[in-house]
Amino acid sequence: MTDETKKNGTDEEINETVVDLKAETPVDETEAAEAEAVEPDPIDLLREENEKQRDQLLRLAAEMENLRRRTARDVKDAKAYSVTAFARDMLGVSDNLRRALDAIPEDKRTEEIKGFIEGVEMTERSMLSALERHGVNKIDPEGEKFDPHFHQAMFEVPNPEIPANTVVQVVQSGYTIGERVLRPAMVGVSKGGPKAEPAQPAPEGKPEE
């Protein structure tokens, strides 16, 4: 091998190395560009995390508000209806007092037992007044249209002069406690008369009286 051949060989190797370096350079730049493109922007990450935290806080606030409302409603119901069972038992006692008074014939209501009758009537009124102070109110539906939510029909009374389904007799008084029916009124309703007229809607802009 001559000196010229050695020189030419060395030059060719150098050229190949230069060519290889030039060929690899675009690949490295492409990988760097792809790496930059894949890496998310820290500001975008913070914004996304902020939105998640905000959504969680709003959900938590809504749940707490719902819990507060449910708790307030439960407390209100507990106060209003805590005496329901006791009130129902007391109504049984009141019914017995009324039956005792009704069982006394008119011809037996002499001066000798007048004080006794007045005492029983006073006891009945006092009991009903105490129940009323605790939210128990009497249903007095005579003359009203029959309402199955508040009344229990026991019999029908034929009367063509009275609109059908009108309460014409109260067999046993009904009572409500708060917005609930404690005991429906047992009533007799009319039949054979004209249909009861539907309630007229209140004029627009004016509340129902």
pLDDT in tens, 54-81: 999 999 999 999 999 999 888 888 877 8
Mean pLDDT of 174-187: 92
CA dist 174 and 150 (Å) reads 8
d(CA 53, CA 47): 10
**Per-residue tokens: 44:** 């975008």
Q: Which helix (H) or strand (E) holds 120?
A: helix 111-133
Q: How far, in whole angstroms, is CA 126 from its chain's centroid?
A: 35
Q: What six digits make up the tokens of 145?
A: 């249209």
Please tell me the predicted confidence (pLDDT) of residue 196.
Answer: 60
187/201 Cα distance (integer angstroms)? 27
Per the CB < 8 A criterion, the answer to whether 140 and 172 are in contact is no
Please give the radius of gyration of the chain, using alpha carbons only, rounded to the nearest integer: 45
Query: Given this model, what pLDDT does residue 110 score?
Result: 86
Query: At 12, is the pLDDT very low, low, confident or very high (cuts 50, 70, 90)?
Result: low
The beta strands (E) that lie in 35-164 are given as 136-139, 151-158
Mean pLDDT of the region 32-43: 66
Cα 68-74-75 angle, rounded to 5 deg:
90
Q: Is the dihedral of CA 147, 149, 151, 152 positive or negative?
A: positive
pLDDT mean across residues, the chain: 79
Contact criterion met (CB below 8 Å) for 189 and 165 = yes
The packing angle between helices 111-133 and 84-102, to 10°, is 160
Query: Is pLDDT above 90 for 160?
Result: no
Residue position matching structure tokens 């026991």: 154
